[in-house]
Amino acid sequence: MHLNLVEGALGGIGLFLLGMRLMSEGIRTVADNRIRAILAACTSNRLYSLFFGAVMSLALNSVSAAVIFTIGLANGGVLTAFQAMNVLGGVLIGASLTLHLPVIPYSLVATPLVFIGVLFKFFARRRRLANAGDLLLGAGLLFLGLTLLEGSFKPFDSHPLYGVISDVFFRYSYLAMLFGAMISCFVQSSLSSATIVAALAAGHQLSPVMAGSMVLGGFIGVAAIAGLASVGGRSVSRRIAAIFIAITIAVIVPLVALTPSLLDALPWLHALGAGRVEPQLSRQLTWIHTIASLVTALLITALSGLFSRMLGGGKGYAGGEVSPQPRADYLDSRILNTPTLALEQARKEIVRMMSVASYMYADIREILFDFDARRVETVRQHEQVLDSLNHEITIFLADLARASSNPEIHYAIPGLLQTVTDLEHIGDRCEDILDCIIDRKETGVIFSEGAMEDLKRLAETVSSTFAGTAELVTDGRIPDDGELRAAKAVVRTVFEEIKQTHFERISSGVCPPRATILFTDLTSAFIRIAELCWNLMAIQGRKTYER
């Protein structure tokens, strides 16, 4: 195999993955509420999402790049599963439009994006511009990776790879489909892929049926790129990519068998091109691509609601991720006219916040005694979910207070607002613990066995309080005063004992200053979490969260 192909493929995929990671991080940090609101308006229904995806695909002139950006937006929590799937359908339609209306190639914008991204990232004083630099640098590296992949695969007519596989892949339709998928993975533009296939047919006597199968196989290659883009991302992006791959295969495999019929169904295309083989076949391949993209997009759009509900309904713990989207699922301003229903929907979101906080604390306990970099990213994502839910629920409850004149609604709202605030603060304290853990790891601070045992004991005690609080919030049970006093007494007793043993370690010189500070910060954060849990219990006791 030609060495340039191997070098180009490996280097392109490496830049691609690095750019995808930087771009996803940039999206998370740059996408504020205004940008989220704009994207939410552009993807508010199926039609708008399809149009947004088509425009993005046309603007980038690369179906793969548009798919990657869509997965990145979903991975960054900007798009929900429903929105992302409909946008992917629009991306396929836009890919066919690029065959009819070629636009500026993405390779021209790669290096300017890298240059501007480096300037912002390393020289901008404002944090927002530095975060935007991550986004631009990631996008530029991603485009560079795609350009390197495409360049390593051209010119295909004289590529040594053709002599190796021509006798294998061009005899059967489904093998040609697989080869077309491979071409699509290397050549990221639909126009370039179709041009290569048409050139193969003209230069090597490839039959129109095999050429059509290769064009259809390109859709599977695009879906595979979506799967590659989701590697290392959040589980929701991986599930979206898996559904996209499954639907694409379900559409393309039958269409490959129908390729001869599709060619026969377009007899008027034979008149185009004035008898020249290549223009005529190019137009045939263009329309086959268009038909396949429309069918796939329609099926994705039709099933987007069903699959998004399936993705949003999973509450199980898988790697610490309880909720696939950092946004409210139940809140809708249209139900404010029905205050009782609106209040119940807000409570559902608060229960969801409690679940996210619970999994976040569970991850923190695991990381404290067994560091795992993957869980660190999960904790950060959970904190983003809590921040987003806090913002959305607070606005929704404020709107509900203005829209309703029911005294019972007005009596319940303050307790709900306090619950939301306390849950968000629990997330902040968990992140403080995470920062201490990372600081300890990076600076090489080692705690004594006694200190680790004290931390373990404190974490388990607070965990019991947390579990009881989660049960109260989730089930709506009202605690009695004795239960609350008992919970406080247990934690305070443990904390006082740990303070005493910590003071003895400091006095004996076992605990150096840096370790002392980190240990104190950790114990303070755990105690603050317990205090917030007590506040939540007290709110339950005041019956402001009564169902």
pLDDT of residue 438: 87
Judgement on whether residues 237 and 280 belong to the same structural domain of the protein: yes
Domains in the chain, number: 2
Distance CA 517, CA 506 (A): 11
pTM strictly above 0.75: no
Give the range of the structural domain holding residue 500, as residue numbers without chain letter: 333-541
Place of tokens 């039709």: 302
pLDDT of residue 518: 87
Name residues whose C-beta falls within 8 Å of residue 147's C-beta, 6 or more positions apart in sequence.
Answer: 12, 106, 107, 110
* Residue ranges in the chain modelled with pLDDT below 50: 1-3, 155, 157, 268-278, 313-324, 543-547
DSSP structure class, residue 377? H
pLDDT of residue 178: 80
Helix, strand, coil % (nearest 5) of the chain? 80, 0, 15
| pLDDT tens track for 27-54 | 656 655 566 667 777 777 888 888 888 8
Judgement on whether residues 423 and 358 belong to the same structural domain of the protein: yes
pLDDT of residue 319: 39
Instruction: Answer for the pair 258, 232: CB distance below 8 angstroms, yes or no.
Output: no
Judgement on whether residues 297 and 339 belong to the same structural domain of the protein: no
pLDDT of residue 544: 41
The answer to the question of residue 414 being in a domain is: yes
Place of tokens 């404290």: 368
pLDDT of residue 140: 75
Judgement on whether residues 182 and 301 belong to the same structural domain of the protein: yes
Distance CA 152, CA 253 (A): 28
Judgement on whether residues 238 and 352 belong to the same structural domain of the protein: no
Distance CA 23, CA 134 (A): 6
Residue that terminates a domain, selected from 279, 312, 345 = 312
- The per-residue pLDDT of the chain, averaged, comes to 75
The answer to the question of residue 323 being in a domain is: no
Judgement on whether residues 130 and 172 belong to the same structural domain of the protein: yes
Quick one: three-class SS letters along 51-85? HHHHHHHHHHCCHHHHHHHHHHHHHCCCCCHHHHH
Residue that terminates a domain, selected from 256, 281, 312 = 312
Judgement on whether residues 40 and 75 belong to the same structural domain of the protein: yes
CA 51 vs. chain centroid, Å, equals 21
**Amino acid type, 147:** T
Judgement on whether residues 308 and 406 belong to the same structural domain of the protein: no
* Residue-wise burial string across 490-513, b where 16 or more C-beta atoms lie within 10 A, e elsewhere: ebeebbeebeeebeebbeeeebee
Distance CA 298, CA 289 (A): 14
